[in-house]
Amino acid sequence: MDMNFKALTALMISGGTMLASCNNNAAKTEESKDSTATAVTAGPRSFGQADGQEVLQYTLKNANGMEVKILNYGGTITDIITPDKQGEKGNVVLSYDSLSGYQQKGQPYFGALVGRYANRIANAKFKLDGKEYTLAPNNNGNTLHGGLKGFDKVVWAATPAGDSSLQLVYNSKDGEEGYPGNLQATVVYTLTPDNALQITYKATTDKPTPVNLTNHTYFNLSAGKDSTILGHELSLKASRYTPVNDKLIPTGKLDPVKGTPMDFTTAKKIGADIGKVKGGYDHNWVLDKPEGVLETVATLYDPTSGRYMEVATTQPGIQFYTGNFLDGTLTNTRNGQKYVQNAALCLETQHFPDSPNQPSFPNVILKPGDTFSQTTVYKFSVK
């Protein structure tokens, strides 16, 4: 299930290089010179306006012809263009043809960075240091993905960081969406020479605050040739998951997947057992690895196109979501496609949902003087 050792080592080295480049201008310049032979960043193009600021789309390319396009609005990935086994290139993520698509009511976070707290917080409340904080109840009485205007709906400060990377920075003010502390979030997207999209996240705060940052891209490795992902084959390096109540809030238990429809320890078609899961898959899997260690935790394969994706992360959990709420009604979709139920899936590397209210879950409280850090890599190939 793991990436081969050389590839993983290369990714970890690449991750270290990028982290260094975030903190050292000299390192950034040196990396830029070294990478010009293998990758070229196209100039950004205008994609509209939001909050009185220009929205730009940046394009990353590598020498293999792979492309990734990203908006400074929400740090949104609009395109991941990779070849299939016949060499035909296609966009393997759901997207829109205009900014209005990303701003429409009910837009389900296509490609976006989500925060300050990704996933759900029960009853839109949590206690921290004896004080109760009230958030926006934007999902069945709970808070989802940061609230009414989370990190997915703001314009980030974007700076190309080397020819194959884009750095995004957003300063979230104390009290924004109910969260305490001024939080500075920095995300770097890097397209590597071996067709991997590496995402590094960092955040600092001046008051204790819960932090859970991830990316919410919807993948369909057929590049739209198949209207659903039910034929995709998924593996998850996770022997446990967090069961949820009817509002998708974890019960606090860590249940074994063995003998249940939640078992993806061996690769299987997503459609094999989805009918046995009420509403479809929208759960957090507990990864079988130490937190903070970059390790391959998931693989996704589309037998028809031959595209293969590996996911490595430093995070303790991954949310596997099968686009259950897609119903074909979204407008301004790419090429007018109808995004029906199960049109795509998300593999959101994360801390567990509702962790601020679940003391037995891994800690999500960031304190002044500490740095939140996570790295996730989506690597593409064919077989």
Residue 258's contacts (CB-CB under 8 Å, 6 or more residues apart) are 239, 265
Q: How far apart are CA 211 and CA 367, in angstroms?
A: 10
Residue 29 scores a pLDDT above 50: no
Residue 45's contacts (CB-CB under 8 Å, 6 or more residues apart) are 56, 57
Q: Could you report the per-residue pLDDT of 147-198, keeping only the tens digit for each?
A: 999 999 999 999 997 779 999 999 999 999 999 999 999 999 999 999 999 9
Residue 199 scores a pLDDT above 60: yes
| Tokens, residue 165 | 């990377």
Q: Could you report the per-residue pLDDT of 217-263, keeping only the tens digit for each?
A: 999 999 999 999 999 999 999 999 999 999 999 999 999 999 999 99
Residue 296 scores a pLDDT above 90: yes
Residue 24 scores a pLDDT above 50: no
Share of the chain above pLDDT 90, in %: 88
Contact 293, 368 (CB under 8 A): no
Longest dimension (CA), the chain: 59
Catalytic (active site) residue 291? no
Residue type, 260: T
Exactly one of 145, 216, 283, 351 is catalytic; name it.
Answer: 216
Q: Residues in the chain, how many?
A: 383
Residue 32 scores a pLDDT above 60: no
Query: Which backbone phi and psi does 295 adopt, to 5 degrees?
Result: -150, 145
Residue 7 scores a pLDDT above 80: no
With b meaning 16 or more CB within 10 Å and e meaning fewer, what string describes 74-96? bbbbbbbbbbbeeeeebbbbbbb
| Tokens, residue 102 | 């990303």
Q: Could you report the per-residue pLDDT of 57-100, keeping only the tens digit for each?
A: 999 999 999 999 999 999 999 999 999 999 999 999 999 999 99
Q: How far apart are CA 343 and CA 233, in angstroms?
A: 14
Catalytic (active site) residue 132? no
Exactly one of 176, 177, 310, 348 is catalytic; name it.
Answer: 348
How confident is the model at residue 200, as a pLDDT? 98
Q: Could you report the per-residue pLDDT of 111-121, keeping only the tens digit for each?
A: 999 999 999 99
- Using CA atoms in the order 145, 147, 148, 153, what is the torsion angle rounded to 10 degrees? -50
Cα–Cα nearest to 203, from 122, 117, 119, 124: 117
- Report in angstroms the alpha-carbon separations of 247 from 190, 195, 326: 35, 37, 18
